[in-house]
Amino acid sequence: MNKNPTLLAGKLKGLGLAFLATLMSFSLFAQQAGNISGTVTASGTQEPLVGVTVQVQGTSRGTTSGANGHYTLAAEPGDSLVFTYIGFDDLHVVVGNSSTLNVSLHASAKGLNEVVVTALGLEKSAISTPYTTQAVSGDELNRVKSPNLMNSLAGKAAGVVITQGSAGPGSSANVILRGYKSITGNNQPLYVIDGVPMSNPTTSQAGGLNSSRSADGGDAISNLNPEDIEDITVLTGASAAALYGSRAANGVILITTKKGKLGVSSVSVSSSATFSNPISLPKLQTEYGQGSGGELNTSVNDSWGPKIDNGSDAHLDDFFRTGQTYINAVSVTRGGDLGAFYLSYANTNAKGIVPENTYNRNNFTIEGSSNLFNDKVTVQGSMNYINQISRNRPSAGWYNSPMFGLYLFPVGDDFSKYSGANYQKFDSTRNMYVQNWPYVRNEASSNQNPYWIQNKIQSDEYRSRSIYSFNAKWHILNWLTLSGRVNYDRSEDRFEQRSYATSDPTTVGANGKYVKIPSTTEQLYTDFLLSGNKQLGTDFSLAATLGFSVTQNKFQNIDLETNGATTTLYYPNYFSVYALEGAFTHTERLEKQLSQAVFGTATLGYKQTVFLDVTGRNERSSTVNDPFFYPSIGLTYVLTNTLAPSDFFSFAKLRASYAEVGNALPFGVANNNPNYTLSQNGNINGRGSMPFFSGTDTISLKPERTRSFEFGGDFRFFRDKLSLSVTYYHATTDDQVFQIGAPAGAGAANFWINGGTILNKGMEAMVSYDANFGQVKWSPSVTFSRNVNQIRKLSDLLTADRFVLNSGFRLTQLFLTRPGSETLRGRKYGSYGDIFGRTYQRDDKGHILYGDDGLPLLSAANDQYLGNAHPDFLMGFNNSFTYKNFSLHFLVDGRFGGVIASSKEQWLDFKGLSKRSGEARDKGGVMVNGKLIDPEVYYQYISGKADIAAAAEEYIYSATNVRLRELSISYAFPKFSNVFKDLSVSLVGHNLFFFYKKAPFDPDVSISTANSLQGMDGFQIPTTRSYGITLSAKF
Amino acid sequence: MKRINKTACTVLALSLLISLGTSCTKQMEGLNRDPKQISDQDLEQDANAGGFLLPTMMNRILSTSTSSQTQQNLEADSYAGYLETPTPFLNNENTVTYFMVGRYIDNTWNVSTQGVMDNWLLMYKNGIQDKYPDLYAIALIIKGMAAQRMVDAFGPYPYTKYGSAAEVEFDSGKDAYAAIYADLTTAVKNLQAAEAADPNADQVRFAKWDGSTLKGEYTNWIKLANTERLRMAMHISLVNPTLAKQWAEEAVDPANGGVLDASTGSFAVYAATVNPYYTYVNAWSDCRLSASIQTYLEGFGDPRLPVYALPAEDPELGGAIRGIRAGSAKPSKDRYVNFSKPNITPDMPVKQMDVAESYFLRAEGALRGWNMGGDAKTFYEEGIRVSFQANGVSGVDDYLQSTTTQVPYVDPKNPANDTTAVSDVTVKWDDGATFDQKLEKIITQKWVAMFPEGSEGWTEFRRTGYPKMYPIKESHNPELPYGTFIKRLTYPPAVTNSSQAQVDAAVKAYLGGHDSAAQPLWWDID
């Protein structure tokens, strides 16, 4: 600690420093005297084991091993010590005369005692679970840090697709387990923290390309401190998640947080600095200047002008700065006779790659537990406080995205006239600074100076979030426990946006624009569980839980803002609610949801070989008209208990399960008589969206229901060195809830309808190996997943061949196609994420047809199938090497198949900025079908002038890519002082390079994490490559 | 004892679980709605349930919000020769150059269909027709006016079966017209009955909902409904002269309450914020004067011109009022952005039907030999006088004697747009003129008076060919080559995506099997 005080002190200011000092004082008291001490290691690897229970047999004296596997215990020679640890055989050792007793434990061959965390935080014997569970340790997650911890999960578990949001540090992550199941509903997994479901509403999303406020506001999971995480368990399948009922249709991510442990005392400090730079910036031509038809015209921002010699695309690189992320965390844990506690603090401080974008987060955690009444009752409580400030998150749409003006800047003009401090100029008439940008008025959208956007369209997003949780467990009998939990999670957000006068005139009035939206999101969760675990005779065992839970959610906000360009502020650049003039926008929302569920689960075991697992849950939710019931059943067979295990075949388990889960309805949609909204002047609007009605009858909307089965096996070979886990799954989601445009004359703008059935089937596999080559240990693992998505049915209530999901994109459309439709063009089923647009007309042999003008002929409508946004399969190759004190980890992550449409490339062609448009001019034209065509004519034609007339086929790119996603090299210092238990330094890198990529941009990022905007590249900020250093120490 | 204690506790805990499981069911009721929005129950008070949807409906005929840009400004306002855009939207390949941009026309369909038809349906389902026949009559008038515009823009429209099933058949334009006319007749009867029962009923029940210039007076709304009936009669005057005459004579029959006049003024609706055209003209710089209206008014020496438009800011035009020719090439927005702005003030209500229209309709009726209660010349000149009065300009007597004609169009930015006048029509009435010459005068003057509401201007241009207009310079629709004019809007994606089968059937039955912008509507015969 004292060796390098500046690094830490520089980042931990004020409160942080004081907090650290307090923690240090705790650690001074953490030394314990005892008669026997030693280290517990794993046999073979000699890795220290942390958390091994050490007990003097026949007494209540005991402890657990701390960091480095060290333990200290009062014991007499002749006492028998029992070492127990999950996944290892128990070890009995009699204490001799030496005060040091080092032991090593053997991994239990069958893993019979291994415990996995399942739904509701229930621990289950791993061999009895009839479904896949994949655990990723906190260390693994923290190896290469990201402000949103979910981004660190990519490639580490099979069947998980993670797409990063586009708003820089603190953006949300789009996490999809086993494919998209719901079309307009939620597809994100349920996050469960220590058994309690977390509400994960995203604060705001890029609403599309036409929206003037479309920055990703981050999600709730990204608020957590990655350092607080013990491990993450991914339950990809419905069976594993069935106990969560209606919120678990998309799988569950179980997060176990770090807690104080009895007999353990340590202080951990980690500090990391990460730097990032944009990758995959567009390539521009720099040979031709402003104008059109080869003629100079400085009033337009097209680059179809004359040949120039001063062209430059340096403004692209110049705009971005090196992003910086500093994460400093400290935690302390201690356990003693009274109980145990865990405290942590972390600060995340980031500067995005675009100017003025910053992100700052503070996480405080306090957790404690104690045993009462002769250890019959355990109480535990925790509190998290998070505050987060994001400033000037870049927008992704056409209106306020800084990328729009930047990428489309004519290369013949000199950007230095408008960059840096030149983004504004003084207007002596108005006596104020105004936007300096000659291209504000653009023919198809607004176009603003990117520096102005970042400096003078200011946004602040404040979040203050508290999570309080309390639970008590009463060991009624040695086989029966009753537990109760209460968890309250409250986020208060405040969004404020200040657009200065002379911002985009189509959305901002003459004196500027002001937006203020305070909002509150709350969840109160309560449950009671009665759990029993009993051996019935010699052969049978039964573990069962009966429970009841209540979840209350509340969201409220007030939105005060100027109304587009039609109202503005009383005085220029005076940003206050006082300043809102005339009929400004003022709305208010209050949404409450209540859900109550009764559930039960039972696992019946026979000779530790066959297990039958059943669950049932009956739920009543305020958003659904009728209660609904979800069952699941699973069967597990441990082969190696009947077949004699051998050195080759050390463990084998087969499993099969069937489950039904659902996705409850969104707030309000099942209400046949919803309340009315009001206009700014008090006029009452009608009802735009209604449950489907047919003149007389209105349907009662049902929650979506996913029926799934899965089977698979877990195998281990060569004394557990090689592990293989394979799962096949088949999940049908019925009663898909869509919002569709109502047919003409039906009497509503949109209908909510139980409109269809989607099938997701596929497989997940994971192979891992532990190899030792002398002192080098190599642990490779490969994850593989493949998902096939099919639209099996669309509602018969309507006759349309397809339902439109998104037609607002000016290049492509997203449709859901009815099976058997001609528009499928030979495919048997359409799938979610199918992209449609204009294609080239072709003859029978597939040759493109041309018109008399020499241009390729395009399909009449923009409704031709172009591809699907989702990958065919994913592979991750995770490796770790350790040699003495060095370790090397790298993760190669591949995404194969799927396409992405690029509106950005379309615009670059249209504006004469694309590299190929310059090359074509060098060659005197585009050679098309033997004819030389004028490049301006050709590229404006195929780009459809950046609109729907485009040959969308031309702008569809393969999303296949293989990249070195993570690399870290760590060195653990040998013990050189009694103060340090551990000290290590790591060099880390993220997104280092692509082994393979065809698209001219990173296809893994999307404009928005919204369902309807997948597979679209627009004007979001580019992805980054990052590298950094992490220091961690334990005392 | 210890044993019993444990058992008792277990039982207690279990009963706690069960009681919690059943106690909360009642809390569910009413949760699934946002209490910050207004409910049907809230609206029971003060009998608001009867009329609360009327303001929104009035605001969605020609929308008083900025959705009217794609609803009408970039289509009918241009086709009528009133307003043009200096903005080369989609590189000038857009609705003003006859290229059917689906997402613009979506709004032409959606604004009134959702804002008027859906809300009428809600009133109907709530039984307003029985509870408040007078308020329902207002809904019928708004519905009729909105639907007439839709039928005149697209042709077949699902009017008679609206809301009776999830997917309903489209009516032919002819059937829709008959049904609209019948609804307007019902509306007039209901309002007359209400007036007869209690002349003050409108001020009690309706005035608070009337955000228009008609001030909540049922007698004014009766006149509006009758003028609408007269308008529809005139639209079918060529295709069904007998029915047209019958409808027109009913509409002007004094027993039915009369038509719009100087006492009522025009029917215009106040916007929630500012007149959206003010936004298009100023904040968005997307809307300027059209060459047609400029050259006619300049030629007539019309004192309404400086009221309708502001002098061009372009120094090349030396302070003249100059419009943009339809279909002009626009290499950039800069070329025409400083041509004349239409003179729209922020608080000006959005005009839906001009007061003078009722006079010119009667003038044409008289010309056609129908009993309009007067002769063509009188109605024609009265129409001009009413329009002068409405615009606050003087000099009408001189104007009525004017014999000057349209001036040529001169475009200093692009001489290729220059063109000689296409019409020799004058203002001064000439009893000796031919039917066609008289019709041209009536329609031309009606067109001048109706400025800038383009929907009716475009319809009458299609029906009569007046006022004569410059061919649009550059058409981006191969079906509408140079010299032809657009005949209708094609069905937008909002309709074809959800109702392809019904659209196909209607196109086959009533539009010659081809959903084309060059396909004349059923009343468009000549």
Nearest partner of B206 among B185, B225, B228, B221, judged by Cα: B221
Asked if A560 reaches chain B (Cβ–Cβ under 8 Å), the answer is no
**Residue A217's pLDDT is what?**
64
- Helical pair B102-112 and B133-154, crossing angle rounded to 10 deg: 160
Q: Which residues contact B259 (CB under 8 A, 6 or more apart)?
A: B223, B226, B227, B230, B251, B252, B358, B361, B362
Nearest residue of chain B to residue A598 (CA atoms) = B21
**Inter-chain Cβ pairs, chain A and chain B, closer than 8 A:** 235
Mean pLDDT computed over B342-352:
96
Nearest partner of A200 among A224, A184, A178, A235, judged by Cα: A224
Q: Which of A676, A692, A802 sits opposite B37 (nearest CB)?
A: A676
Query: Confidence band (pLDDT; 50, 70, 90) for A165?
Result: low
User: For residue A394, with 0-12 CB atoms within 10 Å meaning exposed, 13-18 middle and 19 or more buried, which class applies?
Assistant: buried
For residue A658, give Cα distances in angstroms to A234, A631, A664, A690. 18, 8, 20, 34
- B-proximal residues of A, 805-834, CB under 8 Å: 807-808
The Cα–Cα gap between A762 and A398 comes to 37
Residue A956 predicted with pLDDT over 90? yes
Mutate to test the interface with B, among A304, A485, A622 (most CBs of B within 10 A): A622
**Residue A492's pLDDT is what?**
92
Cα pseudo-dihedral A411, A412, A415, A418, rounded to 10:
-120
pLDDT in tens, B320-334: 999 999 999 998 888
Q: pLDDT higher for A833 or B420? A: B420
A819–chain B nearest CA distance, Å: 16
- A-chain CB neighbours of B497 within 8 Å are 741, 800, 802, 804, 807
Residue B4 predicted with pLDDT over 70? no
**Residue B6's pLDDT is what?**
52
Residue A110 predicted with pLDDT over 50? no
Give CA B133 to chain center in angstroms.
Answer: 25
Q: pLDDT higher for B516 or A205? A: B516
Mutate to test the interface with B, among A399, A439, A443, A623 (most CBs of B within 10 A): A443
- Identify the three-state secondary structure at position B165: coil
- B-chain CB neighbours of A563 within 8 Å are 273
The ipTM value here is 0.88
- B-proximal residues of A, 20-59, CB under 8 Å: none
For residue B522, give Cα distances in angstroms to A4, A572, B519. 88, 54, 9
Q: Which residues contact A626 (CB under 8 A, 6 or more apart)?
A: A700, A702
Mean pLDDT computed over A74-89:
77
Mean pLDDT computed over A799-807:
78
Mutate to test the interface with B, among A399, A479, A567, A683 (most CBs of B within 10 A): A683
Cα pseudo-dihedral B251, B255, B259, B262, rounded to 10:
160
Are B56 and A684 inside 8 Å of each other by CB? yes
Q: Lowest-pLDDT range, A635-649, A725-739, B167-181, B253-267?
A: A635-649
pLDDT in tens, B113-144: 999 999 999 999 999 999 999 999 999 999 99
The Cα–Cα gap between A274 and A839 comes to 44
**Residue A143's pLDDT is what?**
67
Mean pLDDT computed over B212-219:
95
**Residue A63's pLDDT is what?**
81
The Cα–Cα gap between A721 and A768 comes to 8
Residue with tokens 């041309």: A850
Are A745 and B161 inside 8 Å of each other by CB? yes
Residue B226 predicted with pLDDT over 50? yes
pLDDT in tens, A213-236: 555 666 777 788 888 888 888 887
Nearest partner of A963 among A1000, A990, A999, judged by Cα: A990
Asked whether A890 and A866 are in contact (CB, 8 A), the reply is no
The Cα–Cα gap between A618 and B434 comes to 83
Task: Provide the whole-model pTM.
Answer: 0.85
- A-chain CB neighbours of B281 within 8 Å are none
Above pLDDT 70, what percent of chain A? 87
Mean pLDDT computed over A830-859:
91
- B-chain CB neighbours of A748 within 8 Å are 114, 118
Are B114 and A749 inside 8 Å of each other by CB? yes
The Cα–Cα gap between B406 and B420 comes to 9
Q: Which of B13, B89, B115 sits opposite A443 (nearest CB)?
A: B89
- B-chain CB neighbours of A583 within 8 Å are 272-273
- B-chain CB neighbours of A741 within 8 Å are 494, 497-498
**Residue A185's pLDDT is what?**
65
Instruction: Count helices and strands (H / E) in chain B.
Output: 21, 4
- B-proximal residues of A, 561-590, CB under 8 Å: 563-567, 582-583, 588-590
Residue B198 predicted with pLDDT over 50? yes
- At residue A550, what is the residue type? V
Asked whether B234 and B364 are in contact (CB, 8 A), the reply is yes
pLDDT in tens, A3-22: 444 433 333 344 344 333 33
Q: pLDDT higher for A681 or B172? A: B172
Are B35 and A590 inside 8 Å of each other by CB? yes
Q: Which of A686, A741, A947 sits opposite B90 (nearest CB)?
A: A947
Angle at B337 between CA B334 and CA B343, to 5 degrees: 170
- A-chain CB neighbours of B115 within 8 Å are 686
The Cα–Cα gap between A518 and A884 comes to 54
A301–chain B nearest CA distance, Å: 9
- B-chain CB neighbours of A939 within 8 Å are none
Are A744 and B170 inside 8 Å of each other by CB? yes
- Identify the three-state secondary structure at position A476: strand
Beta strand pairing call for A1016-1017 and A899-902: parallel
Q: pLDDT higher for A704 or A120? A: A704
Nearest partner of B83 among B354, B237, B288, B232, judged by Cα: B288
Nearest residue of chain B to residue A623 (CA atoms) = B32
Mean pLDDT computed over A480-499:
92
**Residue A1020's pLDDT is what?**
83
Q: Strand pairing partners for A550?
A: A526, A596
Q: Which of A444, A476, A566 sits opposite B89 (nearest CB)?
A: A444
The Cα–Cα gap between A18 and A957 comes to 53
Mean pLDDT computed over B219-233:
98
The Cα–Cα gap between A1002 and A15 comes to 40
B250–chain A nearest CA distance, Å: 30
Mean pLDDT rounded to a whole number for chain A: 84
Q: pLDDT higher for B15 or A755? A: A755
Asked whether A690 and B163 are in contact (CB, 8 A), the reply is no
- At residue A776, what is the residue type? V
The Cα–Cα gap between B162 and A744 comes to 9
Mean pLDDT computed over A499-510:
90
pLDDT in tens, B266-319: 999 999 889 999 999 998 899 999 999 999 999 999 999 999 999 999 999 999
Mean pLDDT computed over A477-496:
91
Mean pLDDT rounded to a whole number for chain B: 93
| A168 φ/ψ sector (left φ>0, alpha ψ -120 to 50, else beta) | left
A300–chain B nearest CA distance, Å: 6
Q: pLDDT higher for B27 or B321? A: B321
User: For residue B420, with 0-12 CB atoms within 10 Å meaning exposed, 13-18 middle and 19 or more buried, which class applies?
Assistant: exposed
A744–chain B nearest CA distance, Å: 6
Asked if A851 reaches chain B (Cβ–Cβ under 8 Å), the answer is no
Q: Which DSSP state fits B419? A: B
Asked if A747 reaches chain B (Cβ–Cβ under 8 Å), the answer is yes
Mean pLDDT computed over A799-811:
77
Asked whether A1005 and A171 are in contact (CB, 8 A), the reply is no
Nearest residue of chain A to residue B13 (CA atoms) = A482
Asked whether A446 and A398 are in contact (CB, 8 A), the reply is yes
B113–chain A nearest CA distance, Å: 8
Q: Which DSSP state fits B117? A: I
Mutate to test the interface with A, among B7, B10, B68, B91 (most CBs of A within 10 A): B91
| A996: number of Cβ within 10 Å | 11
A474–chain B nearest CA distance, Å: 10
Euclidean distance between the first and the last CA atom of chain A, given in angstroms as a whole number: 9
Mean pLDDT computed over A295-308:
88
**Residue A13's pLDDT is what?**
42
**Residue A503's pLDDT is what?**
92
pLDDT in tens, A243-260: 776 677 788 888 888 888
**Residue B318's pLDDT is what?**
92
- B-proximal residues of A, 212-251, CB under 8 Å: none
- Provide the edge-to-edge strand list for the sheet that holds A1016-1017: A956-958, A899-902, A1016-1017
Are A300 and B331 inside 8 Å of each other by CB? yes
Per-residue tokens: A951: 């040959």
Does B331 sit behind a cis peptide bond, omega within 30 degrees of 0 on the bond before it? no
Q: Which of A300, A693, A695 sits opposite B332 (nearest CB)?
A: A300
Nearest partner of A633 among A611, A654, A652, A650, judged by Cα: A611
pLDDT in tens, B410-448: 999 999 999 999 999 999 999 999 999 999 999 999 999
**Residue A2's pLDDT is what?**
41
For residue A13, give Cα distances in angstroms to A18, A21, A346, A964. 8, 12, 12, 35
Are B494 and A741 inside 8 Å of each other by CB? yes
Residue with tokens 């629709």: B477
Q: Which of B66, B90, B498 sits opposite A444 (nearest CB)?
A: B90
The Cα–Cα gap between A871 and A875 comes to 11
Query: Confidence band (pLDDT; 50, 70, 90) for A469?
Result: very high
B89 phi and psi angles, rounded to 5 deg: -50, 135
For residue B404, give Cα distances in angstroms to B322, B394, B398, B399. 18, 18, 12, 10
The Cα–Cα gap between B94 and B85 comes to 11
A783 phi and psi angles, rounded to 5 deg: -110, 145
A299–chain B nearest CA distance, Å: 7
- B-proximal residues of A, 275-334, CB under 8 Å: 292, 297, 299-300
Residue A31 predicted with pLDDT over 50? no
Longest dimension (CA), chain B: 121
Q: Strand pairing partners for A124?
A: A116
User: For residue A27, with 0-12 CB atoms within 10 Å meaning exposed, 13-18 middle and 19 or more buried, which class applies?
Assistant: middle
Nearest partner of A811 among A678, A925, A712, A956, judged by Cα: A956
A683–chain B nearest CA distance, Å: 6
Residue B74 predicted with pLDDT over 70? yes
Query: Confidence band (pLDDT; 50, 70, 90) for A32?
Result: very low
**Residue B5's pLDDT is what?**
53
